[in-house]
Amino acid sequence: MAPIRSSLSRSVSKLLGVFKVTDLSLRGNVQTSRSTRFDASGGTKITSGSDVYHVFTSDSPFVVTIGGQADILLVAGGGGSSTSLASGGGAGGAVHVTDATLSNGVIYDVVVGAGGAERNTPAPNSGTGNSGSNSTFTHPGDSTVLTALGGGYGASYNQSNAANGGCGGGKEISEDPGGLGQQPSQSQPFHTSHGGTLNQYGSNGNLATSPSGNFGGGGGGTGGGGGTSVTGGNAQPFSDFPAPVLAPAIPSPTRTRWTSEVGPTGLFGGGGGGGARDSHTAGKGGTGGGGDGYNVSPQESSDGAEYTGGGGGSGSYPYGSGENGAGGKGIVIIKYVDPSHV
């Protein structure tokens, strides 16, 4: 199933305030200009040519001294996997806004969603993992906020209890649908628009492959899911947020895996791979940070990659301690142009 998206362009004045520049020519028109210098602080600031990025890997304010237009990427925390021989966690949902208008002298609140913890309970018990936490970008004094929903946890062994979220967790019961991502009742709230274009990304969890009882379904990704596969759904590329440019903002030792997972095309939000029984092969995580199912060879990690919102990979059966994967933490990135570098 293709990711469900929403695009709209409306006034940003209520949520983020409007920053307008008076054209000093004889026309005297009031126009929005991207050539005005944008000055802000918060997160880790990286300059690449004329592009300036603020990368948030933890909660922190974004302080705008001189406002203007900016692009905002929010990725929520990925969902954790459930019991052994279970399904992969769904990736954290993503929200991408282009040409948002941010105001002079405003302090925006940035919250980065944590990944959901795994559940290490042996099959056939049905304890679930935990959904990922939301990432948010909030205007002070306003109830409206940009929100990326945390990924849903994967269903436990022989249960149909996968969670909905930004991306849905997978399911082991092949006749039931996987957890839902981005459905109307679970849609990432945007309230009023940001004056540019807003897109939401998230997919349903995958179903277990046949025969039922030998595999768990992969979690949904921001770029794909909702099918019948033990593999996690792939991530949506965000080409304006490439890993080679942003990697210095990522803490070590996480940076090495993060750079490989995100890559030059900016992949965020891979679903976790499902588990397998006995000699069957577990699923790999989706591109963009999804954790592998436990017995994939070579085994890299069953956790979703930190700061990608990747879903956790499931453990397998027979059960061993520590096999299940936690979801990866999310990330928030703000990008604008500094004309002084043009």
Give the strand pairing for 94-102 and 68-75: antiparallel
- CA 241/CA 238 separation, integer angstroms: 6
Residue 261 has pLDDT above 80, yes or no: yes
User: What's the number of domains the chain is made of?
Assistant: 1
Which residues make beta-bridge pairs with 109? 61, 138
H-helix segments, 214-309? 243-246, 254-262
Place of tokens 């989706």: 286
* Of 128, 135, 169, residue with least CA distance to 149: 135
Kindly state the tokens that stand for 178. Answer: 């996987």
* Of 107, 203, 134, 211, residue with least CA distance to 164: 203
Higher pLDDT, 176 or 110: 110
Model pTM score = 0.86
Read off the amino acid at residue 257: R
Residue 194 has pLDDT above 70, yes or no: no
Which of 17-26, 79-88, 177-186, 246-255 has maximum average pLDDT? 246-255
**26 is in which domain, residue-wise?**
1-342
> What is the enclosing helix (H) or strand (E) of 171?
none
Decide: 302 and 293 in contact? Cβ < 8 Å.
yes
Q: What is the mean pLDDT of residues 127-153?
A: 84
Instruction: For residue 264, say if its preceding peptide bond is cis, omega within 30 degrees of 0.
Output: no
DSSP 85: S
Residue 30 has pLDDT above 50, yes or no: no
